[in-house]
Amino acid sequence: MGEKMKIRYHCTQAELYSVCDSIIRNLEGKLADFVLYKGKYTPAFVTDLKGKLDTAQNLGDFQQRGTESETDRIDLLELNKKCLLNFQFLQGYIDGAWKGGEERRIMKEAAGHKYYKPASQNNWEYTEGMNSSAMQFITAQSVVLQDGELNMPAGFATTYSDDAKAYSKKYGEFLHASQTGVATQEKIKANNDLHAAVMAVCADGKRVFAHDGGKQNLFVWRRVLEIVTPAGSAGLRILMVNKNGEPVKGAKFSVWKKIAAKRGRKAKIKNQKLKTVTPDVMTTAPYKSGVSGGDGVVLLKTMERGKYLWKISVDGLPDLLGEKRVLRGAVSRMKLIMDNV
């Protein structure tokens, strides 16, 4: 597998498309000036740039792939639990069919016992190995395990087989959604190509309007970005679910702005209202906060971009703490699985 392609633009994807669209429109309006500098600047050139923008926008979105992967993971957790329980039942049937301690150990090893512990820690590939060994063992030792219908039920093999197949299918879907595959690489390349083409226009725009600062700013990426995404337009959307994937209602989510550390000093946290820096800043008024509704969502709007410390508080439970970067010009997203709820 080749090296993964790197993103070449230093902004969000939404910002990339908005800024490129604005600059392409600016170029279209000033085409007569550009063509005096280079003959390539024709209506056909603008049409080609618009095509690059359309191509990039129409490819599948990164966030969509991330959501699919997280949904598959939640389903995979539940299927893994079923397979682990099935294996525990199988061990009980082995205990009932083989009385000698050493003989039991040998049979449990043959059934895939070595895979059980890592599988119980959600090492997905080990669950595949455990299921495969268990099904082969059940097929080979079915008569002994059933013990004349006094031990393993006749339908257990079918139940375990169905759960194992469901797990294997979902595991494949999870890998497909979570891996950076061809589609994601195509998306990155399309975005990079669009960015490079528009930046080339910006470079020429600075030359064409070298003596007209106002017009020149129409082709300065940073200036256009400030217009498209003014300060304070960022946001943060938090989805909180329990270990079963159900929304958590009534959880308070709070954030405190993190200040960049100077060399030789520790990073600090600033409270927006008090404008102070203290070790216990998370006991002061937060920068922003919200309480999750029935859908488990908290939406914090109009935030400055940067890093934040966050805290989740639920009555009767220990607080959960973490850190999150908020991007300018977009609603950053978090999905938090709360195992203690």
| Each residue's pLDDT tens digit, 272-319 | 333 333 334 556 678 888 898 887 888 887 777 777 888 888 888 888
Most confident of 100-109, 161-170, 192-201: 192-201
Residue identified by tokens 């102070």 is: 276
**Closest listed residue to residue 18, CA positions, set 191, 188, 183:** 191
Query: What count of other Cβ atoms lies within 10 Å of the Cβ of residue 294?
Result: 9
Q: Which two tokens stand for residue 243?
A: 């270990």
By mean pLDDT, which of 142-156, 159-173, 327-341 is the weakest?
327-341
| Contacts for 326 with CB less than 8 Å, ≥ 6 apart | 234, 235, 236, 303, 304, 305, 306, 307, 308, 332
Q: Using pLDDT thresholds of 50, 70 and 90, give the confidence band for residue 88.
A: very high
Please report, as a single letter, which amino acid is at residue 246. Answer: E
**Domain layout of the chain by residue ranges:** 1-229, 234-338
pLDDT at 109: 92
Q: 234-338 in CATH: which number?
A: 2.60.40.1120
Instruction: Kindly state the percentage of the chain with pLDDT values over 90.
Output: 38
Q: Cα(70)–Cα(335) distance, rounded to whole angstroms?
A: 9
pLDDT at 273: 38
Is 220's pLDDT higher than 90?
yes
pLDDT at 268: 46
C-alpha to C-alpha distances, 255 to 74, 176, 204, 289, 307, nearest whole angstrom: 26, 34, 43, 6, 10
Q: Cα(240)–Cα(299) distance, rounded to whole angstroms?
A: 11
Q: What is the mean pLDDT of residues 69-85?
A: 82
Q: Using pLDDT thresholds of 50, 70 and 90, give the confidence band for residue 234.
A: low
pLDDT at 175: 65
**Closest listed residue to residue 282, CA positions, set 300, 270, 299, 290:** 270
Average pLDDT, the chain: 81
Strand partners, 303: 234
| Each residue's pLDDT tens digit, 7-17 | 788 776 777 88
| Each residue's pLDDT tens digit, 124-142 | 778 988 999 999 999 999 9
Q: Which two tokens stand for residue 58?
A: 């129409």
Between residues 111 and 242, which one has the greater pLDDT?
Answer: 111
Burial of 252 (0-12, 13-18, 19+ CB in 10 A): middle
Q: Which two tokens stand for residue 257?
A: 């702005």
Q: Which two tokens stand for residue 298?
A: 């908290």
Q: Using pLDDT thresholds of 50, 70 and 90, give the confidence band for residue 330.
A: low
